[in-house]
């Protein structure tokens, strides 16, 4: 069984936001509210005076191996697959938002009945959602199960997003993680994330 993970190289992310758009269309995100996209690219200026770098920082659900969003979920809507993907069963979810409170990575978004109404107008008869619920990145599990990479990875122009199997020693993603070049965010919280970042700042200026 694979153990899926993503590596994001901050050196090559150019902040084009193509990943956001690809994800939104693939997963029918509420594009009318920028706070509700499953993935988001932060744009930050780092440094002082003339020594300033612009950093683009994509964020998404980290598909934690010890996910606090799952343990607090009272309905059992948040579950983890054997391949490491954490997902929300929208039929079970009652939308208490405890998962959003528990997530240290700001990865949860609320899809309300109003969003569903707009969604039906925007996406037309293709709209798949059947009930309001909390939502988050699913690593495009519907694609991954068919052997296709997540939409954001496939569309990334700078190849900043890489997707792979940590249990495969020949997978470049597994190698980048094992070498320490790619690191998890806030590992001290104990969430054991499966999204890793390659730092950009130390290579600059």
Binding site for ligand SF4 (CB under 6 A): 61-64, 67-69, 72-75, 77-78, 86, 88, 93-99, 103, 105, 107-108, 133-134, 136, 191
Strand, helix or coil at 45? Answer: strand
Q: Which of ligand SF4, another protein, none lies near 107, with the C-beta cut-off 5 to 8 A by kind?
A: ligand SF4
Output the smallest distance, CB 110 to ligand SF4, in A. 8
Among candidate residues 6, 40, 45, 20, the one with its CA nearest the CA of residue 201? 45
From ligand SF4, another protein, none, which one binds at residue 86 (CB under 5 to 8 Å depending on kind)?
ligand SF4
CA 2 distance to own-chain centroid: 18
Partner whose binding site includes residue 136, from ligand SF4, another protein, none (CB under 5 to 8 Å by kind): ligand SF4
Residue 114: CB atoms within 10 A of its CB come to: 12
> Nearest approach, Cβ of 92 to ligand SF4 (angstroms)?
7
Q: Which is nearer to another protein, 98 or 140 (CB)?
A: 98
Nearest-angstrom CA–CA distance, 74 and 85: 19
- Residue 36's H or E segment, with its range, is none
The DSSP H or E segment spanning 21 is helix 18-27
> Least Å distance between CB 26 and another protein?
22
Contact of residue 88 among another protein, ligand SF4, none (CB under 5-8 Å per partner type): ligand SF4
**Residues near another protein, by CB under 8 A:** 42, 44, 46, 55, 57, 59, 68, 71-77, 91-98, 100-106, 110-113, 131-134, 183-186, 189-191, 197, 199, 201
Q: What is the spatial distance between Cα 44 and Cα 58, in angstroms, rounded to a whole number?
A: 11
Distance, in Å, from the CA atom of 15 to the CA atom of 57, rounded to the nearest integer, reads: 8
Can you read off the two tokens belonging to residue 60? 């998404």
| Choice between 134 and 182, CB closer to ligand SF4 | 134
């Amino acid at each position: 069984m694979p153990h899926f993970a993503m590596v994001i190289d901050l050196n090559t992310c150019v902040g084009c936001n193509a990943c956001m758009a690809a994800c939104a269309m693939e997963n029918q995100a509420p594009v009318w509210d920028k706070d509700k996209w499953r993935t988001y690219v932060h744009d930050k200026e780092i440094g002082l005076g003339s020594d300033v770098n612009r950093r683009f920082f994509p964020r998404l659900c980290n598909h934690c191996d010890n996910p606090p969003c799952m343990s607090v979920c009272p309905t059992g809507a948040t579950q983890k697959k054997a391949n490491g993907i954490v997902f929300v069963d929208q039929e079970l979810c009652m939308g208490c938002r405890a998962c959003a409170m528990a997530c240290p990575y700001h990865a949860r978004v609320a899809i309300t009945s109003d969003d569903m109404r707009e969604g039906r107008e925007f996406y037309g008869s293709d709209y798949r959602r059947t009930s309001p619920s909390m939502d988050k990145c699913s690593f495009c599990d519907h694609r991954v199960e068919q052997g296709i990479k997540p939409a954001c990875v496939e569309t990334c122009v700078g190849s900043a997003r890489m997707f792979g199997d940590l249990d495969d020693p020949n997978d470049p993603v597994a190698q980048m993680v094992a070498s320490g070049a790619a690191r998890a965010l806030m590992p001290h919280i104990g969430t054991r994330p499966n999204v890793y970042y390659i730092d950009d700042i130390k290579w600059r200026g």
